Amino acid sequence: MTEQPSPLGIFERWLTLWVLLCMVVGVSVGHFIPAVIHSLEAIEIAKVNIPVAILIWLMIIPMLISIDLKELVHVKQYWRGIYITLIINWLVKPFSMAFLGWFFLKHVFSDLLPSDQIDSYIAGLIILAAAPCTAMVFVWSNLCKGEPHFTLTQVALNDLIMIFAFAPIVGLLLGIANISVPWATLFYSVLIYIIIPFCIAQFIRSLLIGKNSELLNTVLKTLHPVSLIALLSMLILLFSFQGDALLKEPLVVFIIAVPILIQVYFNSMLAYYLNKITGEAFCVAGPSALIGASNFFELAVATAIILFGFKSGAALATVVGVLVEVPVMLSIVKIVNATKYWYEKKSMRS
Calculate mean pLDDT across residues 273-288: 90
pLDDT at position 288 is 92
Residue 275 lies in a domain: yes
Residue 5 lies in a domain: no
Report the greatest alpha carbon distance in the chain.
66
- CATH number of domain containing 303: 1.20.1530.20
The Cα 263–Cα 241 span in angstroms is: 24
The Cα 91–Cα 286 span in angstroms is: 20
pLDDT at position 255 is 92
Question: Above 80 in pLDDT, residue 286?
Answer: yes
Residue 2 lies in a domain: no
SS (H, E, C) the chain: CCCCCCCCCHHHHCHHHHHHHHHHHHHHHHHHCHHHHHHHHCCEECCEEHHHHHHHHHHHHHHHHCCCHHHHHHHHHHHHHHHHHHHHHHHHHHHHHHHHHHHHHHHHCHHHCCHHHHHHHHHHHHHHHCCECCCHHHHHHHHCCCCHHHHHHHHHHHHHHHHHHHHHHHHHHHCCCCCCCCHHHHHHHHHHHHHHHHHHHHHHHHHHHHHCHHHHHHHHHHHHHHHHHHHHHHHHHHHHHHHHHHHHCHHHHHHHHHHHHHHHHHHHHHHHHHHHHCCCCHHHHHHHHHHHHCECHHHHHHHHHHHHCCCCHHHHHHHHHHHHHHHHHHHHHHHHHHCHHHHHHHHHHC
Q: Determine how many CB atoms are found less than 10 A away from the CB of residue 34.
A: 14
Residue 209 lies in a domain: yes
More reliable by pLDDT, 31 or 309: 31
Band of pLDDT at residue 262, cut at 50, 70 and 90:
very high
Residues 284, 150 contacting (CB under 8 angstroms): yes
More reliable by pLDDT, 20 or 290: 290
The Cα 297–Cα 231 span in angstroms is: 16
Question: Which of 3-7, 20-24, 238-242 is predicted with the least confidence, judged by mean pLDDT?
Answer: 3-7
The Cα 33–Cα 27 span in angstroms is: 10
pLDDT in tens, 170-220: 888 887 655 566 677 767 777 887 788 888 988 888 888 776 667 877 887
pLDDT in tens, 312-348: 788 888 888 877 877 888 889 989 988 887 766 654 4
Domain that holds residue 127: 11-349
More reliable by pLDDT, 264 or 27: 264
Residue 333 lies in a domain: yes
pLDDT at position 326 is 78
Give the residue from 314, 302, 315 showing the smallest Cα distance to 46: 302
Residue 122 lies in a domain: yes
pLDDT in tens, 40-75: 878 888 777 788 888 888 887 887 787 777 766 777
pLDDT at position 92 is 93
pLDDT at position 5 is 43
The Cα 290–Cα 268 span in angstroms is: 6
C-alpha pair distances (Å), 209 with each of 22, 90, 187, 206: 36, 38, 32, 5
pLDDT in tens, 230-251: 878 877 887 787 677 677 778 8
Where b means 16+ CB within 10 Å and e means fewer, 109-133 reads beeebeeebbbbbbbbbbbbbbbbb
Band of pLDDT at residue 6, cut at 50, 70 and 90:
very low
Residue 4 lies in a domain: no
pLDDT in tens, 267-280: 999 999 999 998 88
The Cα 89–Cα 91 span in angstroms is: 6
pLDDT exceeding 90 applies to what percent of the chain? 14
The Cα 271–Cα 264 span in angstroms is: 11
Residues 316, 252 contacting (CB under 8 angstroms): yes
Residue 3 lies in a domain: no
More reliable by pLDDT, 306 or 254: 254
Q: What is the pTM of this model?
A: 0.76
Q: How many structural domains does the chain have?
A: 1
What average pLDDT is seen over the chain?
81
More reliable by pLDDT, 125 or 350: 125
